[in-house]
Amino acid sequence: MNHIIITGGAGFIGSNLIKTLFNTRSGIRITCIDNFDPFYSADIKQLNIRDFKSNPDFHFIYSDIATTTPIELNELIEEPVNVIAHIAARAGVRPSIQDPLSYQQSNVIGTQNLLEFARQRGVKQFVFASSSSVYGLNDHLPWKEDEQLLPISPYAMTKQAGEMLGHVYSRLFGIRFLALRLFTVYGPGQRPDLAIHKFIKAILKGEPVTMYGDGSTSRDYTYVDDVVHGIINAMNYDSTSFEIINIGNNHTVSLKELVIAIEEVCSKKAMIEQLPEQQGDLQKTFADISKAKKLLGYNPGMQLKDGLKKFYDWFLQNQEILMNA
């Protein structure tokens, strides 16, 4: 892997991926493509890439993959490309219900543009960040990759579409495509719209924590470093031409349990504001990760309490930016 393109590299998962690659690999060049989507503050994204900017092997392209054509990408990126890690997406289940067309443009057309660029440039390895939300209403838990998909949000549908676009390009053009279905990623750099970030910020501000439903919904929380190692192993995978693989923790935590764990980390009780369940939200996510273990040597090791402590420490270190973002 000499030259790697990482889309969404100023975001949560993308920036952690870049950090790990630079810390563990030598002789690589990373091109980061990001448009600083206003879904959340650009100050946080600037914080995410602050330590890379002076690295001569880091190249940043400010561009929106949804509106940048493959021809324009060819002009922006001249040197050969070994791997594309496509992490960028318009995120969020609930906002996608309000604005489905923008999600279609960003997540489907954007993926199409990148795949077409890969075809034109002869890029043979393409890793796609999909989502556990594609399983939707399927209640056959834990979810295996060959389960029926019953998505219930436009966001989830766009992720399913991205997987199938990859299948087409793999079959027709010989691009090795790995779709990684990520399960509720958390850790330093986490987006401010996600529960752990929102809850800790609210507790530190002395504001109520919003709990949708009765707190019984549960998620398979997966620490970002574990996810990044799964992505890197997928970038090196060379056995088959197309795979869909769960990247989760194989353990579920209820919303009530999460709040209690966060209270312990913060050493402060949360004020709970209970609201009705939200349209598009899933009752439970739970990953079967046997395929990831077999194909990628994936073995998540972070315990929730330890991962929450790492996030909390990161938040405190950067609270001047994060509290006002």
Handedness of CA 100, 7, 34, 78 (dihedral sign): negative
Neighbours of 95 (CB within 10 A): 18
How do beta strands 242-247 and 176-182 pair?
A: parallel
Annotated active-site residue 155? The verdict is yes
Closest CA to 74 of 109, 119, 107: 119
Phi/psi of residue 178, nearest 5 degrees: -120, 115
Which residue out of 40, 135, 155, 298 is catalytically annotated? 155
Side by side, the strands of the sheet bearing 83-86 are 58-62, 29-34, 3-7, 83-86, 125-131, 176-182, 242-247
Closest CA to 83 of 25, 144, 150, 10: 25
How many H helices and E strands in the chain?
13, 13
What's the number of CA atoms in the CB half-sphere (13 Å) around residue 191? 20
Could you list the active site residues?
155
